[in-house]
Amino acid sequence: MTQTYDLATLTAGCESEQLHRSGAIQSYGALLALTPDGKTITHASANLEAHIGVPAGELLNTPVSVSLPWLHAALVFALGRQKPGANQLCSHITEGCAGWLDAWLTISGGHLLVEMLPSRNAPSLAAHRLQLPLLKAPGDAAELAAHHHALLLGVREVTGFDRVMLYHFHDDFSGEVVAEEVREGLGSYMGLRFPASDIPAIARRIYLVNPWRSIPDIHMPVSAVLGNDVPDLTNALLRSVSPVHLKYLEHMGVRASFSLPIKVGGKLWGLVACHHLSPLTPDPEACQVASGLAQAHSLGLGSYLAQSRMQSIDALNRRVEGILNIFTAYESAIEAIATQPQPLLEMMNADGLVMAIGDDFVSHGHCPDNTGLSELDAWFLTEPEPAIMSDTLASMATSVATAISPLAGLMAVKTISRHPKTSGQWVRIYWFRRAEPLEVHWAGNPDKPMAENTAIPSLAPRRSFERWIEVKRGVSRPWTNEDRMYCARFRNALLRCL
């Protein structure tokens, strides 16, 4: 009997992959896990001898002061000046088998992690010079573009990657390349979209707690972490990489990658994604400087977004008050909209408008016919939600989609009238947008293929990242966050005058 597999089930399996419980690290560095007080070694990576000349098995469950006195001295000094819960880079803790090692200290899963990373012992980087262009918050769209550009130039200078991109998450967690710095001769990903499944939810959550993520070579072997159990490596910079992601990078022609989170208001706004066509291990100090640049950029971006939101709210309040003044100038709101529909239509950048109070209604612009409007109204009056919005027929109930087609965008609000003449009746306002073919430029076909020739089906990354244009039909111009804010504010304002 042929067994079928549900794509949603496979996707859920990918989303639930226990990345932080991989039990292995990338072998370009070595890892020790200690008790939280930093006194006893509980775990060690199997490749430790190659880095510091001491077999991992000899260190397990031993006091670090006895087995590695040089590390104990460095830890006492570092922990004595470290803020609680803060990560810290200790430069040049020891001269390892292949050169100097730096240490990254962090708490993860109840352990103090000591990750020993190769250091080039390079001259100090001019971090302040690179941060200067990022210290002034952008005031408009042009300055925001320059802000993005300054970040990418700085990151590329300190890390040396062939391509550095700023990747912004949309509301559905698909991403878009909004800025790019790339070595001459390489193609561009500027403006291309990537599906949400490229960076699963569990990976996005880890980005919120890790300062950076480095993959120096996708073909590098992993090293197991030895100990009595599998440690939580959520905060480990060396944590091994999902095989799916390694294959993804291979299909892109990328040999090494480096990424930094861009966080605004405690949420993941986007990533700085760096690619290199050959193996590349950025120096820990360079990673630290790049992380500082990303943080400075995030502060400026957050200020810009907050300022833009305040300006939108101010404009909204003026616009709503203007519409309410129109209402009060007429005997009824129905008469007001019949006479001056344009302000309410323009507020939502809509193509059509309907207002209904009780059994009376008025329409303007592109709207459903009377039969369709009656079906839509009957459905909305039974809906528990006071406001709905959609920009695609596919997301609507079949009866609603049929009622408003060939329109595709719908925003609706309702409230109970308190006006003496219409008290107790439902006030409904509908805005409509026409269906327009929408082109989305993806980096390759966004539908994840299934891995072939395997006994157990799994998801595999797509093999091509060439521009792939999807033409969506039955959709309208999307409603923005500003439109949602206008909708909520306007409905609240209606309660005061209708």
448 band by pLDDT with thresholds 50, 70 and 90: low
pLDDT over 90 for what percent of the chain? Answer: 40
CATH for the 329-437+474-497 domain, from 3.90.110.10, 3.30.1180.20, 3.30.450.270, 3.90.420.10:
3.30.450.270
Cite the DSSP H helix spans in 160-267: 201-207, 243-252
The full DSSP string for 361-391 is: EEEEES---HHHHHHHHHHHHH-S-SEEEES
Residue 105 host element (H or E): strand 99-108
13 band by pLDDT with thresholds 50, 70 and 90: very low
Helix orientation angle between 141-159 and 284-328, rounded to the nearest 10 degrees: 170
Is a pLDDT exceeding 70 seen at residue 44? yes
Candidates 238, 242, 265; CA nearest to 45 is 238
Is a pLDDT exceeding 60 seen at residue 1? no
| β pairing state of 175-182 and 163-169 | antiparallel
Which pLDDT score, from 0 to 100, does residue 11 have? 46
Residue boundaries of the structural domains of the chain: 7-306, 329-437+474-497
In DSSP terms, 267 is beta-bridged to: 264
Segment among 46-55, 258-267, 337-346, 394-403 with least mean pLDDT: 394-403
Is a pLDDT exceeding 50 seen at residue 126? yes
Using CA atoms, how far apart are residues 106 and 282, in angstroms rounded to an integer? 19
Which pLDDT score, from 0 to 100, does residue 10 have? 39
Which pLDDT score, from 0 to 100, does residue 66 have? 93
Is a pLDDT exceeding 50 seen at residue 174? yes
Which pLDDT score, from 0 to 100, does residue 352 have? 93
CA 419 to chain centre: 45
Using CA atoms, how far apart are residues 225 and 114, in angstroms rounded to an integer? 13
DSSP state at residue 395:
G
Is the fold of 7-306 the same as that of 329-437+474-497? yes
In DSSP terms, 485 is beta-bridged to: none
Which pLDDT score, from 0 to 100, does residue 65 have? 92
Average pLDDT over residues 353-361: 90
| Tens digit of each residue's pLDDT (9 = 90 or more) over 189-241 | 898 888 888 888 888 998 998 899 999 999 999 999 999 898 889 889 999 99
473 band by pLDDT with thresholds 50, 70 and 90: confident
Segment among 53-62, 327-336, 360-369 with least mean pLDDT: 327-336
Is a pLDDT exceeding 50 seen at residue 434? yes
Size of the chain in residues: 498
| Tens digit of each residue's pLDDT (9 = 90 or more) over 45-94 | 999 999 999 999 999 999 999 999 988 888 887 777 665 555 777 777 77
Cite the DSSP H helix spans in 180-283: 201-207, 243-252
179 φ, ψ to 5°? -160, 155
Which pLDDT score, from 0 to 100, does residue 460 have? 47
Segment among 6-10, 254-258, 273-277, 400-404 with least mean pLDDT: 6-10
Using CA atoms, how far apart are residues 117 and 110, in angstroms rounded to an integer? 22
Which pLDDT score, from 0 to 100, does residue 6 have? 45
Q: Are 134 and 152 in contact (CB under 8 A)?
A: no
Count Cβ neighbours within 10 Å for each residue of 157-166 and write b for 16 or more, e otherwise.
Answer: bbbebbbbbb
What integer best gives the mean pLDDT of the chain? Answer: 84
Q: Could you tell me the CA-to-CA distances from 18 to 28, 29, 114, 242, 392 in Å, in that order?
A: 22, 21, 21, 9, 35
Superfamily of domain 7-306: GAF domain (3.30.450.40)
Which pLDDT score, from 0 to 100, does residue 9 have? 45
299: which 2 tokens? Answer: 């502060």
123 band by pLDDT with thresholds 50, 70 and 90: low
Which pLDDT score, from 0 to 100, does residue 2 have? 35
How much helix, strand and coil, in percent to the nearest 5, is found in the chain? 35, 30, 35
Rg (CA), the chain: 28
Q: Are 496 and 325 in contact (CB under 8 A)?
A: no
Q: Is 349 exposed, middle or buried (0-12, 13-18, 19+ CB in 10 A)?
A: middle
Using CA atoms, how far apart are residues 314 and 257, in angstroms rounded to an integer? 43
Which pLDDT score, from 0 to 100, does residue 456 have? 39
Q: Which residue has the tokens 């539908």?
A: 447
5 band by pLDDT with thresholds 50, 70 and 90: very low
